[in-house]
Structure 1
Amino acid sequence: MILKKIKSTLALALTCLLFSSSCSSFFDGVNIIVTLKEEVQPIATLQIMDAVTGEVPNNLTLTLSGADKSSIVNFNGGKNFNVNEQGIITFAIQHSSENVERVDFDVTVNANGYVSSSLHISFYGEEINSYVLGLVHPDNTPEGVYATAPQIENSSDGITANTVISASPEQAPETTAYIQIAEGTQVFAQNGNQIEGDLEVKLVYFDPTSEEALRAFPGGLEVYANIDNNEPEAGVFTSAGLVNITMESGGKSVKTFSESILVDIEINSEIYNPEEGRTIREGDEIPYWSMSTSTNQWELEGTTVVELNSQSGKLYARMEVDHLSYWNLDWFSSANCTQNSRVIINLNNLPEGYYPCGLENTETGLIFRYAWKYLKDGDAITFYNTPQSMNVRLHVFENGVCNRNSMAISEEFAICGEVNKVLNLNATTSTPDVVNFDLKAECIDNPDISARPNTPIYFKSSDCRYWQYLGYMYNGKMTTSQLVIGKTYEFWTVYSDVFTYLVPSSNIEYVYQYAESPCNSN
């Protein structure tokens, strides 16, 4: 057995949290923490980072909305939704005697200097999932994201001159976006008051052919959309381009205009048009959408026609924009499947364990859904909330953030209507190491008192600057294939500070010990 003394601030609170039967009298709050721990069911973890550096932005604020927001609590059962030093938060619901079939809510994230973003989280009563949200800073954007922040003159009479702004004025990407504002256009705040004074404009363009840009796509490609002012409808976007536009003057944010501004988005000629079943052409129609700042749902604003710019030779589509938010060119595939596909996993030479996975739309070649799954030979996976007609492939990645190389890819299958189909995962790389964790916490003065925690675990290696989700440990046990035997990692759990550990073999028995423990039986 490998014993390790962890000298950190986890001692008192962690020990008493784990050993509730003997610690309840030692300091205020223990009973509450233990009670809440017993009453909550974790459903998701969220990691927030700078999309380029991986660092945690300062002054993060999280706002919850959506159908089940009132049911959501943090890991300790409270309503304070703050990330830790690693930028991680665990969402949970109160335990219930009834089986939870589904939970839906949205998270909006803001940070000083960053473009606001959001995420929809769904829980189907099975294993918890882990999400990563990369925030974009206009001064340092990821690959495929272009931004500019010019100032334009504005007075009580409106914009002082006809203005054209490019998202990439000093670069020449294959595609970009432009906004056109007519002279005399007046700008107004959310309350309807006119804003006078020069404007700082931020225009951010997301290239839908870039994987890095799509990772920063607000909410991802699985969306809830309001099409006819009815109930929001779940579905999947196929994007032809996305922009975020903000304007402010003296701390006052612009919301609307006296007349619409024009937004032109150039379109890569290789973009797939799912309605026509081919790549995009001049004359094709594309719906365009704006994101509601109050609901984080996409609202259909109209349809535009693809045109050809005779000077540049590039395809583009124009939107008439009367308010500021995210604006998006997208075809929408409704999640109207009535027979969820259920597949039986055949791992072949892939070992059992937690893996980051993704679903690839075979028509576009893009990953539209990411999830961490525990894969076991012969186990069944059910795909929920899917379009009626879409063929996909299941990818198993080496890890979730730093290296999304596929270590195994399934054959193509229909995401709707398949029942008990055997899905073969064909390895594309060498077989990874398998590491089995057996984690126990005990008091050094009374080793008979011990506990095996339930907790999400994150790790960081020397060759990756990001914290990455390793998996969820139940009763102190977990199997993973994301670690390399003989390599040193940093680990973090809900209960502990960061600790460094060398993975010595495929079977690890790891024991927390405390020389000065309050866990005395009495």
Structure 2
Amino acid sequence: MKNFFTSIFRPIIYIFLGLSLVFACQKINPLDGVELTVNTDIYKSPVLIQFVDGSSTSTKIPEGLSVTISGPGKDFVLDDFGGKDFTVAGNILTLVLNKTANPTETNPIVFTVAVSGAGYLSTSKTITIVDGTTPQSHVVSLVGLSAPPLGVTAASQNISLTGGTIQIPTGNGKNESASLSIAPGTQVKDAAGNVINATSVSTQVVHFGSAQMESLLSFPGGFTPQNVNRNGTITEGAFVTAGFVAIDMQAGGKEVKSFSKPIEVKVGINDDFVDPNTNLKLKEGDVIPTWSYENTTGEWKEEGVATVSKDANGKLVATFTASHLSYWNLDYFYQLGPKCNSYYTQIKVNSNVSTYMSGYYGYLYAGNQILNGYNFDVTNGAISYIINPRRADMKVKVFDMTKAPAKVVGETALFNPCNVTTAVPINLTLPAPPPPINVDIDFTAKCSNKDVNIKPSTWLYLYDPTASWYGRYIYSYMTSGKTSLTVKEGTEYFIYAYSAGKYYSGRATFSKSSSNIITSGGTGLTGTTTYNASTGKVKLVATYTTNDCK
């Protein structure tokens, strides 16, 4: 915080020291009644991470979340006021890189954000930054334990250490179940490897199916991990999952981390799952590699194999043993090929809409497996950038995520990212959008403890409570207090400006009539909207007051 304002005000201080010398003998205060306005765009690579409830039917916004930053690039990562106070404001985390950072495609800055919160399964997201200017926005899907996403089921049970089993049911859109068994005489251990004095263990298991989008969007870190441990060697690659589980245990008031005897885990296999190596459905006797996940670092570690068999009902299940707790994943792993010429592939849109529409996501597929997903601009002529996983059989599908179930509105032909020399075309057929209106934004932050106004470089986030699922959100990065965006005409939006782990909020309706911002809460926005008939645009001028000007 101190370094941030020293950087902004140092040149101003030098000027005023000179003025003070001139006026000292006259006992005149050259600053009396003067209000200064300064810009804050001194950091690099702004990042917004939005944490959302992974269930398409949920209207809940996750709150009370905690995060940690790890990974090789963590020392470059700052909060948006230049400090290390990584606080989630509501469901939004805003980050920047230190001004000395110089990320490139050949030398990216990579870090992992781990998140946890009451009522949600802990997870993490690895962020890769390859340039110092382009803002990035990411959506992290959280699993609410009381109402999980489609394709996910959970079970909790107190298991005796004399032996016992917990069953995770089918349902919620999937036909597969899972189970976990503890052998008689098993001792449980804490993070330091000490035996916990207990006779039973409180167990929670969450099972994720492999065929449902909402389940796959909850996969920790995404399907193109960059921190994969294979026999002690760290590499990167792509996963194709046959299903995964998250296991948590408590005993004697302590978190269980490992066991004196391995526990047995059985995971049901979807009837239509195909082995990507053979292009054939799985059968008895096949094996699937197993992987464990370290949530705080984003590292996947190869652990062994699960063996496929049939249960009493004739359903395929994969059985493996686990000596410690984490996410456990049944996954086929692909080592990535040679580096491509570019970190990104460009996808060029041909569509029937001429204004930005929120709620559309592009997903990169290898066969039937989702590898990565991105907020996708469906405007005709727009260019979107997809991170190259360096496999030859790639396809991008664009989904309308404004309502469930998500609907495909277009897809590319198969392409090899390493051989692409021009933008890959995609044709989209979209429903007619509601009447749009363009908005120019002008924000000012007023310091409560000094005569200084700040033109903030920070994220602006609009929330439409009348929309559903991913269609509720619009976000844009403000540079020196200014940005432009497109909204639905006549719709009231909740407006949030984020800074230093806080948000400043209000409500406004964007139409061809002037209006005032309705302040929300004690950290509210004030301001007005006006319509310019000659440009056809609305201008929003807003102010919030901050006491963080130290």
Q: Same fold judged by TM-score > 0.5? A: yes
- Number of the residue aligned with 1:489: 493
User: 1:213-292 to 2 correspondence within 5 Å?
Assistant: 213-292=215-294
- Number of the residue aligned with 1:188: 189
User: C-alpha distance in 2, partners of 1:149/1:117?
Assistant: 19
User: C-alpha distance in 1, partners of 2:281/2:149?
Assistant: 26
1:21-77 Cα shifts (integer Å, max 9, x gaps): 89x9799xx99x967x33212432112244444545554221111110110001111
User: C-alpha distance in 2, partners of 1:136/1:344?
Assistant: 30
User: C-alpha distance in 2, partners of 1:275/1:97?
Assistant: 41
Decide which of 293, 300, 303 is 2:302's aligned counterpart: 300
Evaluate the alpha carbon distance shift between residue 486 and residue 184 of structure 1 in structure 2; reply closer, same or farther with a 3 A threshold. same
- Letter matched to residue 92 of structure 1: V
Evaluate the alpha carbon distance shift between residue 26 and residue 303 of structure 1 in structure 2; reply closer, same or farther with a 3 A threshold. farther
- Number of the residue aligned with 1:508: 537
- Number of the residue aligned with 1:4: none
Evaluate the alpha carbon distance shift between residue 435 and residue 67 of structure 1 in structure 2; reply closer, same or farther with a 3 A threshold. farther
Evaluate the alpha carbon distance shift between residue 452 and residue 59 of structure 1 in structure 2; reply closer, same or farther with a 3 A threshold. closer
1:391-426 Cα shifts (integer Å, max 9, x gaps): 212416465x88854444434433332111441332
- Number of the residue aligned with 1:156: none
Gaps of 5+ in 1: 1-16, 154-158
Pairwise CA distance, 1:451: 8.5
Gaps of 5+ in 2: 1-7, 17-30, 447-451, 513-534
Decide which of 136, 141, 147 is 2:148's aligned counterpart: 141
User: C-alpha distance in 1, partners of 2:308/2:493?
Assistant: 50
- Number of the residue aligned with 1:3: none
- Letter matched to residue 68 of structure 1: G
Give the aligned CA root-mean-square deviation in angstroms. 3.8
- Number of the residue aligned with 2:484: 478
Evaluate the alpha carbon distance shift between residue 190 and residue 408 of structure 1 in structure 2; reply closer, same or farther with a 3 A threshold. same
User: 1:1-40 to 2 correspondence within 5 Å?
Assistant: 37-40=40-43
Pairwise CA distance, 1:202: 0.9
Evaluate the alpha carbon distance shift between residue 322 and residue 41 of structure 1 in structure 2; reply closer, same or farther with a 3 A threshold. same
Identity of aligned residues (%): 25
Decide which of 108, 111, 115 is 2:117's aligned counterpart: 111
User: 1:167-182 to 2 correspondence within 5 Å?
Assistant: 167-168=168-169, 173-182=174-183
Any conservation in 1 of the 2:41–2:456 contact (CA below 8 Å)? Answer: no
Does residue 1:130 correspond to 2:137, yes or no? yes
User: How many pairs are equivalent?
Assistant: 480
Evaluate the alpha carbon distance shift between residue 431 and residue 272 of structure 1 in structure 2; reply closer, same or farther with a 3 A threshold. farther
Any conservation in 1 of the 2:494–2:505 contact (CA below 8 Å)? Answer: yes
Evaluate the alpha carbon distance shift between residue 507 and residue 130 of structure 1 in structure 2; reply closer, same or farther with a 3 A threshold. farther
Pairwise CA distance, 1:512: 2.2
Evaluate the alpha carbon distance shift between residue 249 and residue 360 of structure 1 in structure 2; reply closer, same or farther with a 3 A threshold. same
Any conservation in 1 of the 2:445–2:454 contact (CA below 8 Å)? Answer: no
1:347-367 Cα shifts (integer Å, max 9, x gaps): 343325476432241511x44
Any conservation in 1 of the 2:41–2:457 contact (CA below 8 Å)? Answer: no
- Number of the residue aligned with 2:75: 70
User: C-alpha distance in 1, partners of 2:226/2:458?
Assistant: 30
Any conservation in 1 of the 2:292–2:300 contact (CA below 8 Å)? Answer: yes
User: C-alpha distance in 2, partners of 1:438/1:170?
Assistant: 47
Evaluate the alpha carbon distance shift between residue 26 and residue 181 of structure 1 in structure 2; reply closer, same or farther with a 3 A threshold. farther
User: C-alpha distance in 2, partners of 1:379/1:249?
Assistant: 54
Evaluate the alpha carbon distance shift between residue 195 and residue 465 of structure 1 in structure 2; reply closer, same or farther with a 3 A threshold. farther
Q: Secondary structure of the equivalent of 2:147?
A: coil
- Segment of structure 1 superposing worse, 262-271 or 50-59: 50-59
Pairwise CA distance, 1:452: 6.8
Evaluate the alpha carbon distance shift between residue 472 and residue 353 of structure 1 in structure 2; reply closer, same or farther with a 3 A threshold. farther
Evaluate the alpha carbon distance shift between residue 378 and residue 110 of structure 1 in structure 2; reply closer, same or farther with a 3 A threshold. closer
- Number of the residue aligned with 1:457: 460
Q: Secondary structure of the equivalent of 2:215?
A: helix
User: C-alpha distance in 1, partners of 2:546/2:42?
Assistant: 25
Any conservation in 1 of the 2:123–2:295 contact (CA below 8 Å)? Answer: no
Pairwise CA distance, 1:116: 1.5
- Letter matched to residue 538 of structure 2: E
- Letter matched to residue 76 of structure 1: F
Q: Secondary structure of the equivalent of 1:213?
A: helix
Pairwise CA distance, 1:337: 4.7
1:440-493 Cα shifts (integer Å, max 9, x gaps): 24799xxxx99975442222223247762433344623244xx32222222212
- Segment of structure 1 superposing worse, 223-232 or 288-297: 223-232
- Letter matched to residue 476 of structure 2: G
- Number of the residue aligned with 2:65: 60
